A and B are shown apart, each in its own frame.
Chain A
Amino acid sequence: MSTWIELFPDLLPGLWVTIKLTLLALGLGLPCGVVLAGLSAAPSRWVRWPVIVVVEIGRGVPGLIVLYLVYRGLPQVDVVLSAFLSAGVGLAFSTAAYTAEIIRAGIAAVPVGHREAARALSLSPLQEFRLVVLPQALRTVIAPLVGFSIILYQGTSLAYAISVPELLSRAYNAASITFQFGAALTLAGAMYAVVSLTATALAGARSRERVL
């Protein structure tokens, strides 16, 4: 326990990087997810199919491979990003795919009768979406989105592999200096768990799916 207290100041900056990375991936990925969800319901299959393919690729490829592709693959086509930005962009890609699927399911869960009623009242398509579909879809979508954010928070640990100084990197480095692998890694684990479990408890998002 006393080693945990000694190690805590070393790991804290890592926790901050981890949180920043989570917010960056959400900030970049969630808007893309909303757009992809909207496009996946497009009337033209020339729009719909490519979007479905992108979403399925984003959900089917390991997060680690996506991070390597951004960090070690993109420089080959002259896109050079810092390790932190690479991790953010890579995780944002996965985020976009997963949130697109969550939001698509939320929109699909709105009863058809409500849309028909909106049309019968001659609301414009935009009004129909804004006033009828969105408020109902939001309610079903919140819990899975919080659940995904918790998984994303855990997924940022993959950034260790491209040497982003996040929580796990900090713990590993501290351990390799002092050889206190047990204390450093379990403290990092506890710091992940405390944030995850608190967020889960606050959101009441009990059902979670393993993703990244």
Chain B
Amino acid sequence: MTVMEHLQALAGGIGTTVTLTLAAFGVGAVAGFPLALARRSSQWWLRLPALAVIEVLRAIPPLVWLFIVFYVIGADFPLMTPFQAAVAGLGLIAAAYLAEIYRAGLDAVPDGQWEAASATGIGTLTTYRKVVLPQAALIVVPPAATYLIALLKDSAVASVVGTTDITFLAFQEARVTLEGFEVFVIAAALYLALSAPVALVARTADRLISRRLGL
């Protein structure tokens, strides 16, 4: 078997890996926001549960979460596909990590900005929309991009419950051709190639922020 033939066998999984990663990131990006706000709340009954949820989500391995979603929660949803289970499981973990990234972004907006907004009496919603979020959004990009790469790598665990991503197809190809060494090296190269553009975005955003802050 040539490298080209192996590559063709794995190529069918690229779409699944990318969709899975982006879908889980999307779930996390949306669910992480209220979690971050609750985590920063001055009310203990919002802050403490949010803290507990974030810590527990991050303290258990992704593969274990995936198993809990697929085998335990999935028992009540017999139509759930491995792909959906993976999106839900990885999305939950992504919510916790992105919540912490959002929180750091909100914390990075100087106190004076919050105080000025509150002094002008524009209300909480307008404060977030017009003052805080435009500043926090840019700060959040580099760590969020770094996390997206981590999530891309984590997405490989979805193959264990049968999602037909790059890793799953590599596993099959290695078993059929008995050329595991070449096959997994090619799979590794595919993951590196997928993460390269995201790394570029992170670096560019980092430079942009440094310039804006006059560093």
Q: Report yes or no: B181 in contact with A77, Cβ–Cβ below 8 A.
A: yes
Q: Report yes or no: A64 in contact with B156, Cβ–Cβ below 8 A.
A: yes
User: Chain A, 35-72, contact with B by CB distance < 8 Å: what is the 0/1 string?
Assistant: 00000000000000000000001001111111011001
Q: Report yes or no: B157 in contact with A158, Cβ–Cβ below 8 A.
A: yes
Q: What band does the interface of chain B fall in when counting residues whose beta carbon is under 8 Å from A?
A: 35 or more
Which among A63, A185, A197 is the interface contact of B67 at CB below 8 angstroms?
A185
Q: Report yes or no: B156 in contact with A193, Cβ–Cβ below 8 A.
A: no
Which among B156, B180, B181 is the interface contact of A62 at CB below 8 angstroms?
B156
Residues in A128-168 with C-beta less than 8 Å from chain B: 154-155, 157-158, 160-161, 168
Known contacts A62-B154, A158-B157, A168-B61; is-contact A185 B184 (Cβ 8 Å): no
Q: Report yes or no: A62 in contact with B160, Cβ–Cβ below 8 A.
A: no
Chain B hits for A4, CB < 8 A: none
Tell me the complex Cα distance, A196–B58, Å.
9
Q: Report yes or no: B174 in contact with A193, Cβ–Cβ below 8 A.
A: no
- For the A-B complex, the count of residue pairs with Cβ-Cβ distances under 8 Å equals 126
Which among A69, A77, A175, A189 is the interface contact of B60 at CB below 8 angstroms?
A189
Chain B hits for A65, CB < 8 A: 156, 167, 170, 184, 187-188, 191
Q: Report yes or no: A160 in contact with B63, Cβ–Cβ below 8 A.
A: yes
Q: Look across to chain B and name the residue whose beta carbon is closest to the beta carbon of A183.
A: B72
Tell me the complex Cα distance, A46–B207, Å.
28
Tell me the complex Cα distance, A192–B64, Å.
9
A14, chain B: closest CB distance, angstroms? 12
Q: Report yes or no: B180 in contact with A75, Cβ–Cβ below 8 A.
A: yes
Tally of contact residues, A, Cβ under 8 A: 41
Whether, in the assembled complex, B68 has its beta carbon less than 8 Å from a beta carbon of chain A, the answer is yes
Q: Report yes or no: B55 in contact with A197, Cβ–Cβ below 8 A.
A: yes
Known contacts A69-B180, A161-B160, A197-B55; is-contact A181 B72 (Cβ 8 Å): yes
By secondary structure, the B interface counts as helix
Whether, in the assembled complex, B92 has its beta carbon less than 8 Å from a beta carbon of chain A, the answer is no
User: Chain A, 172-205, contact with B by CB distance < 8 Å: what is the 0/1 string?
Assistant: 1001000001100110110011001100100000
Tell me the complex Cα distance, A161–B178, Å.
18
Q: Report yes or no: B171 in contact with A68, Cβ–Cβ below 8 A.
A: yes
Q: Report yes or no: B64 in contact with A73, Cβ–Cβ below 8 A.
A: no
Chain A hits for B3, CB < 8 A: none
Chain A hits for B62, CB < 8 A: 154
Q: Report yes or no: B60 in contact with A76, Cβ–Cβ below 8 A.
A: no
Q: Which residues of A contact B (CB under 8 A)?
A: 57, 60-66, 68-69, 72-77, 154-155, 157-158, 160-161, 168, 172, 175, 181-182, 185-186, 188-189, 192-193, 196-197, 200, 208-212
29 cross-chain CB contacts under 8 A: A57-B192, A60-B192, A64-B159, A64-B167, A65-B187, A65-B188, A66-B188, A68-B167, A68-B174, A69-B181, A72-B184, A73-B183, A73-B184, A75-B180, A154-B60, A154-B62, A158-B63, A161-B160, A168-B63, A168-B64, A182-B75, A185-B64, A185-B72, A188-B64, A189-B65, A192-B59, A193-B59, A209-B150, A210-B154
The 10 A-B residue pairs with the shortest CB-CB distance in the complex, in nearest-first order: A62-B156, A73-B181, A154-B61, A196-B59, A69-B184, A72-B180, A157-B61, A193-B59, A73-B180, A210-B150
